[in-house]
Amino acid sequence: MKKLSTSPEFPANLFQLDNGLTVIHQNMPATPVAVVDVWVKAGAANEPDAWSGMAHFLEHTIFRGTEKLQPGEFDQVIEDQGGFANAATSHDYAHFFITSAADLLPTMLPSLADLLLHASIPDEEFYIERDVVTEEIRQADDDPDWLMFQTLLETIYPHHPYGRSVLGKPDLLQQRSPEQMRQFHHTYYQPDNMTVAIVGGIEEDKALSLVEENFQDFPTPTESPRNPAMSALPLDRIRRTELRMPRLEHARLSMGWLGTGVRNMHDAYGLDLISAILSEGRSSRLVRHLRESKGLVHEIGSQFTLQKESSLLTIHAWLDPENLEIVEKEICRCIEQIQFWGVTPIELARAKRLLCNDYAFSTETPSQLAGLYGYYQTITTAEQAIAYPEQIQSFTPAELQRIAIDYLSCSGYAVAVLKPTTVWEE
């Protein structure tokens, strides 16, 4: 094992085991809780098109047991000790975490490691879980907001894995086999592809000893089909998609712009600031102008999403169908105002304060910190996790104006519209 060098400001310690596994540890002696969050570079972006949904499907099926653990036994082990476990999958990662009393972590961590390294993926459990995932997809397809966001992603990324649903499609999942899932698992659930973050009331020596003891016997690597190297194509025109849904109370308008990925974190954080200036709170530009002043929307908000290969700024509005065209134009006009005139010092200071406060509130607990460190280590480096407030505070109005010009073109963006089905169409 070797300790990896970090900046003096980084509050955790990074280690690399001899097998290549990365471990992040931060001792918080004042808390009796410990969190283990295991991050794997095995998200939906790693799937070839034909295997769409495999990463999320595997997240489900991993919990169906090993040679040592019967289906459902892992949950019983965790719950009997008063702990909590969960998992999630995105395009860039899958992660699995447990929260427990610090002194009980030695009784829980072996079961989590056993699931991740030795998931047996028996045929019968594969087919049971496939039905569960298929039902989850059907429920998502009935959610207008999820459907809108997914449609927008497909419009922004027509030839990139980021445009595919993390959940996959039922017809493609029906074509997959337990053996293919085992192959995917053995390809990506390897030590050099994994980070274990431990934060809480557990000392470093004990934490490292637990990880070394339980994360050693990895499966023999195999080779799964992989995506060809690709990058998101620039939005050089307005890409538009329109959908209709019955029994919809309000129309939806979603607009999206591509930003830089982790290769230029400074500009990515600038887009986060612009997002806050546009729609964070009643005094933000879009909320004040389109909802409070003109009454053109019922709700409006924007979201910044940092991803490994390209970040994303999206704006979503809930509105009456007859206002769709004018609201889209007004959103573009607000963006152009930032491009031509910049932002005021007052609104920039307000946005900085909001984002830095949100960051402070989201880095208080062991669970939040373990997730933050693991996420950043998976898409870039863990040290980037603490750079956010300083980066946000460094921006000037001129820099934000330049970023708005560089990334938020009003002649090149994606737009998705969801309208209620009319009576005669039903």
pLDDT for 147 beyond 50: yes
Per the DSSP assignment, residues forming a β-bridge with 420 are 245
Confidence band of 140 (pLDDT split at 50, 70, 90): very high
Q: Over the stretch 18-35, which tens digit does the pLDDT of each residue have?
A: 999 999 999 999 999 999
Which residue type does 367 have? S
Question: How far is it, in rounded angstroms, from Cα 243 to Cα 425?
Answer: 13
CA atoms within a 13 Å half-sphere pointing along the CA-CB vector of 176 = 33
Q: Over the stretch 159-213, which tens digit does the pLDDT of each residue have?
A: 899 999 999 999 999 999 999 999 999 999 999 999 999 999 999 999 999 999 9
Per-residue pLDDT, 422: 66
Question: How far is it, in rounded angstroms, from Cα 416 to Cα 191?
Answer: 40
Q: Are 405 and 339 within 8 A, CB to CB?
A: yes
Q: Over the stretch 107-117, which tens digit does the pLDDT of each residue have?
A: 999 999 999 99
pLDDT for 125 beyond 70: yes
Question: How far is it, in rounded angstroms, from Cα 170 to Cα 57?
Answer: 11
**Burial of 82 (C-beta count, 10 Å sphere; 0-12/13-18/19+):** exposed
Per-residue pLDDT, 229: 65
Least confident of 13-27, 81-95, 213-227, 393-407: 213-227
Share of the chain above pLDDT 70, in %: 98
pLDDT for 244 beyond 60: yes
Query: Model's pTM, two decimal places?
Result: 0.94
Local structure of 120: helix, strand or coil: coil
Q: Are 66 and 135 within 8 A, CB to CB?
A: no
Question: How far is it, in rounded angstroms, from Cα 246 to Cα 426?
Answer: 7
Question: How far is it, in rounded angstroms, from Cα 364 to Cα 387?
Answer: 16
Q: Strand locations in 121-237, DSSP E?
A: 194-200
Per the DSSP assignment, residues forming a β-bridge with 197 are 24, 37
Task: Provide φ and ψ at 110, rounded to 5°.
Answer: -55, -35
Per-residue pLDDT, 224: 87
Average pLDDT over residues 212-236: 86
Residue showing tokens 């016997």: 217
Q: Over the stretch 277-328, which tens digit does the pLDDT of each residue have?
A: 999 999 999 999 999 999 999 999 999 999 999 999 999 999 999 999 999 9
pLDDT for 423 beyond 70: no
Question: How far is it, in rounded angstroms, from Cα 111 to Cα 57?
Answer: 20
Confidence band of 228 (pLDDT split at 50, 70, 90): confident
| Average pLDDT of the chain to the nearest whole number | 95
Closest to 180 (Cα-Cα) out of 48, 91, 88 = 48
Q: Residues near 270 by Cβ (< 8 Å), separated by ≥ 6?
A: 395, 399, 400, 403
Q: For each of the domains in the chain, give its residue range(s) and CATH number, in order of start.
A: 2-214 (3.30.830.10), 239-420 (3.30.830.10)
Cβ burial 238-249 (10 Å sphere, 16+ → b, else e)? bbebeeeeeeee
Per-residue pLDDT, 426: 47
Per-residue pLDDT, 6: 84
Average pLDDT over residues 12-16: 97
Share of the chain above pLDDT 90, in %: 92
Q: Over the stretch 347-399, which tens digit does the pLDDT of each residue have?
A: 999 999 999 999 999 999 999 999 999 999 999 999 999 999 999 999 999 99
